[in-house]
Chain A
Amino acid sequence: DAGVIQSPRHEVTEMGQEVTLRCKPISGHDYLFWYRQTMMRGLELLIYFNNNVPIDDSGMPEDRFSAKMPNASFSTLKIQPSEPRDSAVYFCASRDQETQYFGPGTRLLVL
């Protein structure tokens, strides 16, 4: 398996623009997690899905953030409108029985 795939790997955008991050989990994994990593706050869980259903979105910072999982092999995290404080590395992870497998991350810079 290719592991968790994320795209794009890098994104530079201007404040106010919409940003969409994409994730393909490992086949057969029924949990999918979105995290954000910053120097100030470390790794924070934003939202997670089980069998494509959002279970806990309490980590989503604001209504500007939304996440979807239309099927077992694809998820998106959308920020609209984006702000400079959203600049961070966003990770997607999927899980089998116990272990979470992380993607390489999307490095987002909002100018």
Chain B
Amino acid sequence: KQEVTQIPAALSVPEGENLVLNCSFTDSAIYNLQWFRQDPGKGLTSLLLIQSSQREQTSGRLNASLDKSSGRSTLYIAASQPGDSATYLCAVIMEYGNKLVFGAGTILRVKS
């Protein structure tokens, strides 16, 4: 059974700092990995999707990397801003299915 773990559970940083969120998964037979953002009381917004054959994806100040063989992904946020404060969730889809398996998330607070 696939298990997704995110570290740290919570993170508080001053504005402008670069930061890294970590995600690990136990079964490397994944089809792709996605990073989502969830604001309080809202739904999830997809940030980046990395196919299993890819090593990284970038969107603006966000960069996600994937090391499938070691079961790890990182989300790098450059020059953090207070508007980045949210919960960030990592999720994987297995090669043999359509179900997203989510981690518990990292709660990020960027202080101004």
Contact = CB atoms under 8 A, between A and B. Distances in A.
Interface of A: 4, 31, 33, 42-43, 45, 48, 50, 55-56, 91, 93, 95, 98-105, 107
B49 A55 contact: no
Contacts, number: 43
Given A99-B34, A99-B46, A102-B43, A31 B105 contact: no
Query: What size tier do the contact residues of chain B reach?
Result: 20 to 34
B98 A91 contact: no
B7 interface: no
Contacts of B98: 31, 48, 50, 55-56, 95
Contact of A100 (B100, B103, B104): B100
11 contacts: A33-B100, A42-B103, A43-B91, A50-B98, A55-B98, A95-B98, A98-B49, A99-B34, A99-B46, A101-B46, A102-B43
B32 A91 contact: no
Interface in B56-96: 89, 91
A100 B100 CA distance: 9
B43 A91 contact: yes
The SS class assigned to the B binding surface is: strand
A92 B91 CA distance: 16
B46 A42 contact: no
A45 B99 contact: yes
Interface string B21-52: 00000000000101010000111111001000
Contact of A99 (B49, B89, B105): B49
Interface string B97-112: 1111011110000000
Contacts of B44: 91, 93, 100, 102
B102 A56 contact: no
